[in-house]
Structure formats: structure tokens, C-alpha cells
Structure 1
């Protein structure tokens, strides 16, 4: 009798699909040094491409892109939803709203909860 391996049943596939969906929509909470509660959610790939488009010529600056990429993960600040970032001015307004302490919390949360060792590596993956 032949042995078949690495074959998933439809129930196994459905379970794996639901795990992927749950992981993609998972939210994590970080609190910055000023006490603000920031909700982080992994952005979809389209949001990353839209950020690069919104940044215009600034997207050519890899350091800049690496510094702003983590703001895509910000879903809420103190339960106030953050709209999708569509322009460079919106990106900069969110950075200004977060200030240093918020950005530090966001970067630490992204690294801890989403496994990105550094924002520049993510920026590079968007460019490829």
C-alpha cells in the first residue's frame, strides 16, 4: 500500500486559512510613555504600496521610508480610529500626533508583535 504524505484535508485547509485570517487581523495594544493606548494591526500589502505612492519622491529615501513604515500599523490611538493614510501630509500629521514617545511605542510593538526586526527590512520588501 502506498503512503501519501503532506496531503491536507479540506478541514485542515479551512483551519489553516482561518488561522491566517486571524493572524492578519490580530490587534495588539501598546501604551506609550505619556499613557496613550495605541492599537496596532498589520497593514495589508496594498496599504504599503499606497504609502510608497503617497510619499512621492520621498519614497526614494530608504531611511525615510524605514522610519515611516511603522505608522501603517497604527489602527487606533486611545480608541479613536486612524483612517488609512493616503497622502504624505496625513503620514506626517500622524507622526506629529504620535510624537517621539508614541513612535517609540509603535516601533517596539511592531517589532515585538509582528516580528519585524527593523522597519527598513519591511520597506525593502515593499520595493521588490
Structure 2
């Protein structure tokens, strides 16, 4: 399957927020959310943050409120992990590498009325990519 998935003629729109509501966002996704492969990765940061990720194009993602967003970079600084500086909710991952697709990873656990059981979970073995991250 290509990454990100090839858009189809169908899409779904979603809104979400962090636990305290200081970060609020909307996005459109194609194919629709329950047909979109949602990544569940076993790498250190995805595991600790409980990420379940989809990847809307940046043009289809709007952060309505985000003044409290803080950035976290680690290891090779290939991606910026963004979390709410007030409640600590893990919100987005944004690629920093030159030539990376114009997408943002969104944690679907923050979406309103999400049914995790209906997601098309795609298990990703991120733990085996590159050297293990150690503090």
C-alpha cells in the first residue's frame, strides 16, 4: 500500500481536541477514516504516547487552537512531536526531513466520537527501524 494511501473519491471530516481542550483541530481524510489504514507502531515514542495515527495532507488539516502546543525532538530529529503544554496530550507528528510528504500524523485517540474497534489497524514495526533509542 502506498504511503500515504492514495486518496479515493470518498472522504470523511473529523474534529478533535486534547484532553483539556486547549488544542482543537479539524481535518479531512481520504479514503474515509474507517477505511484508512491507522498505524499502530511499536517504537518507543508511539508506545509511550499511545499513538494511533492517520496522515492527512497539511492542506486538509486546520489547527483551530494551538497556542499551547509544545515540540519534542529526539534521536535523529526527523520529526517534530507536538503535544499540549497544558494537559500533555500527544497530538501531532510533523516530518522535518527535506522531501518528506506534505502530511501530518494525527493521533486519532483525540477525535470526537471515535470508535477504535472500527479502525483498520495497521501494525508497524518501528522498533526494528534504525538503532534503538536510548536515554
TM-score, length-normalised on structure 1? 0.35
> Larger helix proportion, structure 1 or 2?
1
Pair member with larger Rg = 1
